[in-house]
Amino acid sequence: MEQKDYKLLSRKDRLKRQAEISKVFIKLGFIAFGGPAAHISMMDDEIVEKRRWISRERFVDFIGVSNLIPGPNSTEMVIYLGLQRGGLLGLINAGTSFILPAMLLTLVFAYLYREYGSIPQITSILAGIKPVTIAIVINALFRLSKAIIKDRMTIFFAIIIGVIYLLGVAEIPLLFVSGLIMMIIKNRNRMKNRFHSISAPSIFFVFLKIGSVLYGSGYVLLAFLEAELVNGLGVLTRSEIIDAVAIGQFIPGPLFTTATFVGYLLKSTSGAIFATIGIFLPAFIIVLILNPIIEKIRESDFIAGLLDGINIASLVLMLAVSIKLASDSIINIETLSIFLTASYLILKFKINSAWIIILGGLAGWIIG
């Protein structure tokens, strides 16, 4: 399944591969609506299902790992895939290709927000896109489950994790404990035996810190931004932070480009650039450091159970997020019709996610 090693390619073939990486992740950067679960679903469809860059087993392994490390989950997935496909240059290429479209779109909205004091009315288009996103995620969950749920024990384990999550247990402890329990189970026999008030470099370091310590998805970002910029430095209001996160949720690509919006409000274009680099830089470094460690964990018969447990928990959490998103997105007969139509088109005709997203947005605009 996995294709020729990047190091063995000729210079010409390496350039072709880098161009391919750019093309794939720029496209995803423009169409990846719906947050990390949707982003990962689209990557599974594009990278694993269609292009077969890596096996689904390696793909789900890093889904699990990305849930345990600080930084934006889906962006770390992109960076990891770029590293696997194109080495160190591929790592940089994939990450920047995925981030830049969202950053540029966010800059446009930040400019409109600061100039006119409001966000353009885009709810109709978004209402059409959301049900489509749910259909894409659920389709990917079925595919991913084949690589994660392998026997009765993993089915039972997944059900238990789902129940515990619904009882209110936080994601990160749940992931860690799930991984440890599965490692123990799999090894039980062996074990018996404001504008100028803050400088651009300061903005960089604020977001570097956030990017280094923020766990889970980008939705936790609101609390960090409020603590640092509202309560700590007092350079923004809570209302501005909420608006920034709202824009980040609408823009396709990584939600962490909310940093672009906030940076622009603080220091115009230079602030936007410094904030974006600051929040994403740790993800590049962490993935680069972890790549060889992940391979060694998977090769170890003893510790591999840790990844298996984390992968099951990650799948269950993605399903839980999908259910929550569905309850917010499928709210009437129109959005239900969009969801069912999108699901049918995906399952029956294997239509590219990009076209499904566009059609969903168009349907939402027409209905609205």
pLDDT digits (tens, 9 = 90+) for 29-71: 998 877 788 888 889 989 998 999 999 888 988 888 887 778 8
Looking at mean pLDDT, say which of 28-32, 109-113, 150-154 comes out highest: 28-32
363 contacts 128 by C-beta, under 8 angstroms: yes
CA distance 283 to 353: 26
Those residues with Cβ within 8 angstroms of residue 355's Cβ, 6 or more apart along the chain or in another chain: none
User: Within a 13 Å sphere around the CA of 352, how many CA atoms are in the beta-carbon half?
Assistant: 11
* Least trusted range by pLDDT, from 92-101, 141-150, 159-168, 336-345: 141-150
The label of the residue with tokens 């591969």 reads: 17
CA distance 126 to 120: 12
Please provide the average confidence, as pLDDT, over all residues in the chain.
82
CA distance 175 to 267: 38
CA distance 92 to 50: 23
pLDDT beyond 50 at 195: no
The mean per-residue pLDDT over the stretch 248-254 comes to: 75
C-alpha distance from residue 333 to each of 24, 31, 33, 87, 116 (Å): 34, 25, 22, 47, 34
Percent of the chain beyond pLDDT 90?
26
* Higher per-residue confidence, 188 vs 37: 37
Q: Side chain identity at 39, as an amino acid letter?
A: H
Taking every pair of C-alpha atoms in the chain, what is the biggest distance, in angstroms?
A: 69
pTM of the predicted model as reported, rounded to 2 decimal places? 0.65
pLDDT tens column, 318-330: 787 678 767 877 8
- Per DSSP, 214 falls in state -
Residue 20: phi and psi, rounded to 5, are: -65, -45
